[in-house]
Amino acid sequence: MSQIATLIGAPDAGAVTPALVETLRNAWGGGDAIWLSGGDAAEFGLEAVPDNLWAVWSELQALGVDLVVQPEEGRRKKMLLADMDSTMIQQECIDELADEAGVGAHVAAITAAAMNGELDFDGALRERVGLLRGLPESVIGDVLKTRITLMPGGPVLLATMKAHGAYAALVSGGFTAFTAAIAARLGFDENRANTLIAVGGVLTGEVGMPILGKQAKVDALEEITTHLGISEADVLAVGDGANDLGMLLRAGTGVALHAKPSVAAECDVRINHGDLTALLYVQGYARDQFSDC
């Protein structure tokens, strides 16, 4: 069978039931079900992509289950290319900084519009950073310690892929002060992001040029795969915003993780209920193959 259908639910929610898996497998004439994690994830083979895939996907969403159908060949990837904000961490760093500066609600609204593709990313970033002018640079460290939390499943995703020889790159439209810390904490091999400019320990309201936006993420995909001697088909990319779409559509597997509606609509792999361990199930890893983080 050339295709694999994977059903994934939120960890320990029990949404992926034997009855559900068997009903779908029988309806689609699939192969034997393989349980990747009891109650959380299962898969089975298919001869071809079903004509009613997205209708079934929509029905399963209502049950708290994500459904991915993809070619079986080459689904285990050699590289992870990840966004940071609202992907590897649960927050948007610039929104947290803005909250410290007393302009949190205003900046958060701009961030949401930019991530949904409603605003030009570069212009929106410059506008938001401008509102941080005068904020002590030390606030960055405070935000990292008190406001930033890892997305569930991230440490296991990194540990497992790296244990199997994969390269991991964190590429963000956010800021190096945050990506450096998150990359070190999770074990990324490299990180790329924008630079907040500070003078005398105070943010100037300016961002270093050129701005790392949508195209820069595509450039990172091209540059890193060339350096590693692998193809773009060997890459699993994950993100949630409009500035991630370029890399998501170019990578062998592009995952829209809890993504903005306009972003998810462009991607064949959409994870709305599972956490970052869903990216392991999509590659065929079973829970007992996960590495300790």
* Percent of the chain clearing pLDDT 90 (strictly above): 94
Q: Is the pLDDT of residue 121 over 70?
A: yes
Please give the pLDDT value at position 116: 87
Cα 265 from Cα 121, distance rounded (Å) = 19
Beta strands 41-46; 34-37: pairing state: antiparallel
Catalytic residue positions, numbered: 83, 85
Please give the pLDDT value at position 114: 87
Instruction: Provide the mean pLDDT of the chain.
Output: 96
Q: Is the pLDDT of residue 182 over 80?
A: yes
Q: Is the pLDDT of residue 185 over 70?
A: yes
| CATH number for the domain formed by residue range(s) 76-293 | 3.40.50.1000
Residues near 265 by beta carbon (within 8 Å), at least 6 away in sequence? none
**Mean predicted confidence (pLDDT) in 256-265:** 94
pLDDT band at 290 (very low <50, low <70, confident <90, very high): very high
pLDDT band at 226 (very low <50, low <70, confident <90, very high): very high
Q: Tokens 């992870």 correspond to what residue?
A: 80
The domains of the chain are located at 1-73, 76-293
**Mean predicted confidence (pLDDT) in 233-259:** 97
Please give the pLDDT value at position 125: 93
CB 212 within 8 A of CB 194: yes
Q: Is the pLDDT of residue 146 over 80?
A: yes
Strand order in the sheet with 253-257: 190-194, 167-175, 79-82, 235-239, 253-257, 269-271
- Exposure of 80 by Cβ count < 10 A (0-12 exposed, 13-18 middle, 19+ buried)? buried
Strand partners for 269? 255
Q: In terms of pLDDT, which residue wins out, 92 or 1?
A: 92
pLDDT band at 186 (very low <50, low <70, confident <90, very high): very high
**Mean predicted confidence (pLDDT) in 233-249:** 97
How far, in whole angstroms, is CA 170 from its chain's centroid? 10
pTM recorded for the entire structure? 0.95
Please give the pLDDT value at position 221: 98
Classified by CATH at the fold level, domain 1-73 comes out as: Alpha-Beta Plaits (3.30.70)
